[in-house]
A and B are shown apart, each in its own frame.
Chain A
Amino acid sequence: MNAGLQSVDPVVTRISGPTVTATGLAGAQMYEVVQVGELGLIGEVVRLIGDRATIQVYEDTTMLKPGAPVRRTQAPLSVWLGPGLIGNIYDGIQRPLPGIQAHSGAWIRRGEKVEPLDTSRRWTFEPQVQPGDILIAGQPVGQVAETPLVRHRVLVPPGLSGRVRSMVGKGDYRLRDPVAVLETDAGLRELTMLQHWPVRVARPMRERLRVTEPLITGQRIIDTFFPLGKGGAAAIPGGFGTGKTIAQHQLAKWCDADIIVFIGCGERGNEMTEVLREFPELKDPRSGRPLMERTILIANTSNMPVAAREVSIYTGITLAEYYRDMGLDVAVFADSTSRWAEALRELAARLEEMPAEEGFPASLPTRLAQFYERGGVVTTLAGTRGSVSIVGAVSPPGGDFSEPVTQHTRRFIRCFWALDTELANARHYPSIHWLRSYSEYVEDVSAWWQRRAPDWSALRTEALTLLQREERLQQIARLVGPDALPDSQRVILFIAELLKDGFLSQSAYDENDMYCTPERQVALLRIMLVLYRQGQALIQGGVPLARVRELPSVSQVLRAKSALGNQEAGRWAELERRVRDELDALAKEKR
């Protein structure tokens, strides 16, 4: 071997956990992917000084030695995009976990290299353009039925445009088979069903749009009180045991997005197993198909390498943007962004960066902003509408919302579902606190609700005001006892209890209760507020509260969330009638 060449061969000079330093990397780029050591451990260049580079390695570095070879790939960390993503489960750097299992069993060994998509599988491709058509970037050349729920459009990649020279006919093709040839300014380009995109770069779009439609989740406290818009961003902060993960699972199961990307980032392995076990069995309430047919999972559990945890968020959001570009509504769930922030902190500390608040790097807010800003409703390059909604769980240490991750996240989201330990301790789920949560999307989506239920906005405000007054009354009641309050105030406590038990709390396991249609949400709330308004009028007329409490329909109202089904509109109306009748009877008796 040529001695001169040997001196520039990149080699490892230092190893400290996942951070490896190497020399001989002159010309390497930031975030270029390199393979380290004989096992070819995957890593990314995160710092360059002279010909020395610091590499963040995504796998365990045990027994890696100085002098080990480093191989450049000349490309940034990129994901594979194409049919076959849906229903799959990947690790943080898009290695398919089923493939890894088939290859080496139940344990993830080092240096695993499995292709993210099956390039030997044939997909039925239907062309949608003809030779001679002029296409711009982002326009579909054809489509593939990826699952019964997802029509996967094969798009002209960003940056390309031109006239279609030739197209294949409808038929079965593999991912790398050319399906179209485009005459571009730079010459002929073959298009395949497989594309690549660097994960740290947002995919381009034409323009951002205003959020106008709610992401319906079937969860009453969210849809009715703190709605998230399609293309919006929300955070769920909560201490341990407050039900963050269950809330995220509920949303991922029932929300009306076309595609779900669920990123398990530094969380429990069994939780991912639970999703894997449950989603294929659960049916989408709209189509009746298994939920797995619209879901992609990214699992980088807490015991998997920390550097891959950092990148898993970007992997997930890039996949989401890809489906957005097909004109679909995508929802991304990240559980938990705190673990991701901790990965940033851990890696920054190994790079000996100067820490800011609580040891987090000073770039934390920028990184959070970059992530949340990749969501939104957009006009795609081809001019269709698509959206990416983001829901990030936050795990504040000790449940204290003043810590840096929660605080900085608040700046970049517009919907805040604060989970409360006390509610969770009383097993009130979802433990979203109605006074500490907010949504800035209420205005944006009110027109949508108005078309379905003209009184939505009024009911919502009335119920929230009532809950607020209850909080103040509870403070007094804690001092003097609730029995010392006059009936006109105790009725507020009574209706608030009704709202909490019969409306705000919602079981994730009860068949009728786990998903509540928007129409039924409004119907339930309306019944409770009828009881409140008319009950209060009666009490002011001298009827004791006990009489209102003891109306037989009260316990039916309490149980209505699980006793009455989503499709039984007649029975909701009947219940409302019964409540009104009983109240009227009470009023007559009084007279």
Chain B
Amino acid sequence: MNVPTLKVADPGLQYAGAARIEGPLVVVERVRDVGYDELVEIIDPGGQPRLGRVLDISDAQAVVQVLEGTPGLSNQTVRVRFLGESFRLPVSRQMLGRVFDGLGRPVDGGPPALAAERRDVNGLPINPYARRYPREFIQTGLSAIDGMNALVRGQKLPIFSGNGLPHDRVSAQIVRQARLIEERVEFSMVFAAMGVKHDVAEFFMRNFRESGALARAVMFFSLADAPSVERLLTPRVALTLAEHLAFDCGQHVLVLLTDMTNYCESLREVGTARGEIPGRKGYPGYLYSDLASLYERAGRIEGSQGSITQMAILTMPADDISHPVPDLTGYITEGQIVLDRDLFQRGVYPPIAGLPSLSRLMKDGVGKGYTREDHPSLASQLFAAYAYVKRVRGLADVIGEEELGPLDKQYLTFGTAFETRFLNQGEDENRRIETTLDLGWDMLSLLPRDELHRISDTLLEQHYRQPDGPPDTPPAPRTP
């Protein structure tokens, strides 16, 4: 096959002037030898280059998305240079302990990282046949997660939150405490902030520094005042480095992406500027595929010791879990940790909602050989009992608590204890998994043994404790 001669273009070739500038897009006409998704330098009137990439290319025109915004650009004087390759990130282990902007340029005053290799930030899809199934239990030290929604290595488990809820504190605590129970291996951290405010970035920086996590962390900041299109690349930049650390350097990497809602809003902004047909709530129809191209970059692969575990934080607009962003995220990720405003207002920390939270991979990482034999049925029974508590509370709202039967009242006691003693814990309280499980049994022991259908007799025999309550409430005698 003949290689077209145009291939060897002058990389310095500049186009002067653009046909149109619209939102974040610059349309350049009569370009030659430009590829789809090619990286572009747009030189502003001050002579400063801004980065962009090609979204649509035909023999007539190139549509360029300017990652650093179009303010100050003039379609008469703008100069555009096509760089001959797609967006690449230099990757190296030396980047640990460093801070970068949303496009991977150092902002900590240090020199650019020396890198042996530059990687396309879009990555490549992992061959499903080459994946290794996530298994090892990660102890986060939070009972609500370890006991009920366990995280395993290589999982993608997002935190669904709302404005004003303490998702930052919860995720910082997870970062500080996350350990594999056997090996006590520490994670490397890749942190990407999209459209968050300076003080939030500051909170994480301080937190990482104080806990000593900064030395094994890489941070990418695309803050709220950075151009919104830049955010579209930030998670890709972060995940590209994470892939290098995990699969080339064999590290266990925990990737924290915050806040995915801002990312999706940037995507909508660009989609609208391109005049695309919008889907639900104006988000582009490819939002699912686009999110999947990020979330699916978690996991483990054959032939590498490393792993990528992903926690994406997103704020649900108006706490609506059916909003497209949490909805589509939930369809891709392996479960979700949902923060609950009601619990938060009652002073429960971490306010992790009991029922809508879910870890799909929990079944594969807990139980005999991983945590403890009783873990799966204990969790299942706690869920069932807490679901019943919700129903009893609904009933109590209508008929009054006094009118409830004795069993239902016992459930209410259980519910309160579950929230204030099991879910609730200190921000620096790091519970071992055994502590969490024993606490779970304390909770279940508040209920009559006959109510615990989901636990086998053998396990009940081992763990169920007769309530040693006051003498006036002896356990009800059973008819033989």
Q: Which A residues form the contact surface with B (CB < 8 A)? A: 13-17, 21, 38, 60-69, 89, 97-98, 100-101, 105-109, 239-241, 264, 266, 268-270, 272-274, 276-277, 299, 301-306, 339, 342-343, 345-346, 349, 355, 358-359, 395, 397-400, 425-428, 477-484, 501, 509, 547, 550, 552, 555, 558-559
Instruction: Report, as a range, how many residues of chain B touch the other chain.
Output: 35 or more
Chain B residues, Cβ within 8 Å of A274: 133, 364
Q: How far is the CB of A39 from chain B (nearest CB, A)?
A: 10
Chain B residues, Cβ within 8 Å of A105: 127, 130, 303
Chain A residues, Cβ within 8 Å of B288: 266, 302, 339, 342
Q: Establish whether residues B57 and A273, one from each chain, have CB atoms under 8 Å apart when the complex forms.
A: no
Q: Establish whether residues B6 and A67, one from each chain, have CB atoms under 8 Å apart when the complex forms.
A: yes
Q: How far is the CB of A295 from chain B (nearest CB, A)?
A: 14
The verdict on A38 contacting B301 (CB below 8 Å), with A302-B296, A427-B384 known, is: no
Q: Establish whether residues A276 and B129, one from each chain, have CB atoms under 8 Å apart when the complex forms.
A: yes
The verdict on A107 contacting B125 (CB below 8 Å), with A62-B36, A241-B335 known, is: yes
Chain A residues, Cβ within 8 Å of B416: none
Q: Establish whether residues A302 and B332, one from each chain, have CB atoms under 8 Å apart when the complex forms.
A: yes
Contact among A266, A270, A301 with B125 in the assembled complex (CB-CB below 8 Å): A301
Once bound together, how far apart are the Cα atoms of A301 and B85, in whole Å? 27
* Cβ-closest chain A residue relative to B457: A559
Once bound together, how far apart are the Cα atoms of A240 and B132, in whole Å? 23
Chain B residues, Cβ within 8 Å of A426: 355, 383-384, 387-388
Chain A residues, Cβ within 8 Å of B128: 89, 97, 264, 269, 272-273, 276, 299, 301
Chain A residues, Cβ within 8 Å of B356: 241, 425
Q: Establish whether residues A15 and B331, one from each chain, have CB atoms under 8 Å apart when the complex forms.
A: no
Chain B residues, Cβ within 8 Å of A305: 125
Contact among B58, B127, B358, B388 with A101 in the assembled complex (CB-CB below 8 Å): B127
The verdict on A346 contacting B335 (CB below 8 Å), with A65-B34, A479-B398 known, is: no
Q: Establish whether residues A358 and B35, one from each chain, have CB atoms under 8 Å apart when the complex forms.
A: no
Question: In this assembly, does B311 line the interface, its C-beta being within 8 Å of a C-beta of chain A?
Answer: no
Q: How far is the CB of A224 from chain B (nearest CB, A)?
A: 21
Once bound together, how far apart are the Cα atoms of A189 and B380, in whole Å? 62
The verdict on A62 contacting B361 (CB below 8 Å), with A101-B130, A302-B288 known, is: no
Q: How far is the CB of A73 from chain B (nearest CB, A)?
A: 15
Q: Establish whether residues A302 and B398, one from each chain, have CB atoms under 8 Å apart when the complex forms.
A: no
Question: In this assembly, does B72 line the interface, its C-beta being within 8 Å of a C-beta of chain A?
Answer: no
Once bound together, how far apart are the Cα atoms of A547 and B478, in whole Å? 11
Chain A residues, Cβ within 8 Å of B276: 349
Q: Establish whether residues A107 and B126, one from each chain, have CB atoms under 8 Å apart when the complex forms.
A: yes
Interface stretch of the complex, out of B253-261, B322-330, B426-434: B322-330
Q: Establish whether residues B126 and A61, one from each chain, have CB atoms under 8 Å apart when the complex forms.
A: no
Which residues of B (175-207) have their CB < 8 Å from a CB of A?
none
Interface stretch of the complex, out of B163-171, B399-407, B417-425: B399-407
Q: How far is the CB of A558 from chain B (nearest CB, A)?
A: 6
A selection of 6 A-B contacts at a CB cut-off of 8 Å is A64-B35, A65-B35, A66-B34, A239-B330, A240-B331, A482-B395
Chain A residues, Cβ within 8 Å of B358: 241
Once bound together, how far apart are the Cα atoms of A485 and B299, in whole Å? 53
Which residues of B (286-342) have their CB < 8 Å from a CB of A?
286, 288-289, 292-293, 296-297, 299, 301-304, 321-324, 327-328, 330-332, 334-336
Contact among A38, A98, A299, A397 with B280 in the assembled complex (CB-CB below 8 Å): A397
Once bound together, how far apart are the Cα atoms of A167 and B46, in whole Å? 81
The 9 closest A-B pairs by CB, nearest first: A398-B322, A302-B292, A14-B58, A426-B387, A303-B296, A240-B330, A63-B35, A97-B129, A106-B130
Once bound together, how far apart are the Cα atoms of A483 and B403, in whole Å? 9
Q: Establish whether residues B58 and A304, one from each chain, have CB atoms under 8 Å apart when the complex forms.
A: no
Question: In this assembly, does B467 line the interface, its C-beta being within 8 Å of a C-beta of chain A?
Answer: no
Q: How far is the CB of B152 from chain A (nearest CB, A)?
A: 10
* Cβ-closest chain B residue relative to A509: B363
* Cβ-closest chain A residue relative to B122: A62
Q: How far is the CB of B294 from chain A (nearest CB, A)?
A: 8
Q: Establish whether residues B327 and A240, one from each chain, have CB atoms under 8 Å apart when the complex forms.
A: yes
The verdict on A38 contacting B384 (CB below 8 Å), with A106-B302, A359-B279 known, is: no
Q: Establish whether residues B122 and A60, one from each chain, have CB atoms under 8 Å apart when the complex forms.
A: yes
Once bound together, how far apart are the Cα atoms of A346 and B290, in whole Å? 11
Scan B22-65; emit 1 where CB is below 8 A from any A CB, else 0: 00000000000111111000000000000000011111000000
Q: How far is the CB of A328 from chain B (nearest CB, A)?
A: 26
Question: In this assembly, does B475 line the interface, its C-beta being within 8 Å of a C-beta of chain A?
Answer: no
Q: Establish whether residues A98 and B335, one from each chain, have CB atoms under 8 Å apart when the complex forms.
A: no
Chain A residues, Cβ within 8 Å of B450: 555
Chain B residues, Cβ within 8 Å of A558: 453
Q: Establish whether residues B285 and A65, one from each chain, have CB atoms under 8 Å apart when the complex forms.
A: no
* Cβ-closest chain B residue relative to A344: B285
Q: Establish whether residues B277 and A301, one from each chain, have CB atoms under 8 Å apart when the complex forms.
A: no
Question: In this assembly, does B124 line the interface, its C-beta being within 8 Å of a C-beta of chain A?
Answer: yes
Chain B residues, Cβ within 8 Å of A482: 395, 405
Q: How far is the CB of B360 from chain A (nearest CB, A)?
A: 8
* Cβ-closest chain B residue relative to A1: B2
Q: Establish whether residues B478 and A550, one from each chain, have CB atoms under 8 Å apart when the complex forms.
A: yes
Q: Establish whether residues B296 and A241, one from each chain, have CB atoms under 8 Å apart when the complex forms.
A: no
Chain A residues, Cβ within 8 Å of B57: 14-16, 65-66
Once bound together, how far apart are the Cα atoms of A436 and B137, in whole Å? 37
Chain A residues, Cβ within 8 Å of B328: 397
Once bound together, how far apart are the Cα atoms of A303 and B299, in whole Å? 13
Once bound together, how far apart are the Cα atoms of A376 and B330, in whole Å? 33
Chain B residues, Cβ within 8 Å of A304: 125
With A65-B57, A397-B328 known, 14 other A-B pairs at CB within 8 A are A13-B59, A14-B57, A16-B36, A62-B36, A106-B303, A108-B127, A109-B124, A241-B335, A266-B288, A301-B292, A302-B289, A305-B125, A427-B387, A481-B403
Chain A residues, Cβ within 8 Å of B324: 397
Once bound together, how far apart are the Cα atoms of A63 and B3, in whole Å? 14
Q: How far is the CB of B362 from chain A (nearest CB, A)?
A: 11
Q: Establish whether residues A342 and B289, one from each chain, have CB atoms under 8 Å apart when the complex forms.
A: yes
Q: Establish whether residues A269 and B299, one from each chain, have CB atoms under 8 Å apart when the complex forms.
A: yes
Question: In this assembly, does B13 line the interface, its C-beta being within 8 Å of a C-beta of chain A?
Answer: no
* Cβ-closest chain B residue relative to A274: B133
Chain B residues, Cβ within 8 Å of A550: 478-479
Q: Establish whether residues A270 and B124, one from each chain, have CB atoms under 8 Å apart when the complex forms.
A: no
Once bound together, how far apart are the Cα atoms of A13 and B62, in whole Å? 12
Interface-central residue, A108, A272, A303, A395, by most chain B CB under 10 Å: A303
Once bound together, how far apart are the Cα atoms of A399 and B134, in whole Å? 27
Chain B residues, Cβ within 8 Å of A264: 128
Q: Establish whether residues B58 and A21, one from each chain, have CB atoms under 8 Å apart when the complex forms.
A: yes
Q: Establish whether residues A63 and B292, one from each chain, have CB atoms under 8 Å apart when the complex forms.
A: no
Interface-central residue, A61, A273, A299, A428, by most chain B CB under 10 Å: A273
Q: How far is the CB of A54 from chain B (nearest CB, A)?
A: 12
Chain B residues, Cβ within 8 Å of A98: 129
* Cβ-closest chain B residue relative to A483: B405
Chain B residues, Cβ within 8 Å of A343: 289
Chain B residues, Cβ within 8 Å of A303: 125-126, 289, 292-293, 296-297
The verdict on A15 contacting B36 (CB below 8 Å), with A97-B128, A268-B332 known, is: yes
Q: Establish whether residues B36 and A64, one from each chain, have CB atoms under 8 Å apart when the complex forms.
A: yes
Q: Establish whether residues B327 and A501, one from each chain, have CB atoms under 8 Å apart when the complex forms.
A: no
Q: How far is the CB of B280 from chain A (nearest CB, A)?
A: 6
Question: In this assembly, does B111 line the interface, its C-beta being within 8 Å of a C-beta of chain A?
Answer: no
Chain A residues, Cβ within 8 Å of B327: 239-240, 397-398
Q: Establish whether residues B56 and A15, one from each chain, have CB atoms under 8 Å apart when the complex forms.
A: yes
Question: In this assembly, does B212 line the interface, its C-beta being within 8 Å of a C-beta of chain A?
Answer: no
Once bound together, how far apart are the Cα atoms of A509 and B377, in whole Å? 11
Question: In this assembly, does B74 line the interface, its C-beta being within 8 Å of a C-beta of chain A?
Answer: no
The verdict on A13 contacting B86 (CB below 8 Å), with A106-B130, A270-B299 known, is: no
Which residues of B (359-375) have their CB < 8 Å from a CB of A?
360-361, 363-364
Question: In this assembly, does B247 line the interface, its C-beta being within 8 Å of a C-beta of chain A?
Answer: yes
Chain B residues, Cβ within 8 Å of A15: 35-36, 56-58
The verdict on A108 contacting B330 (CB below 8 Å), with A62-B35, A63-B37, A273-B132 known, is: no
Chain B residues, Cβ within 8 Å of A266: 288-289, 292
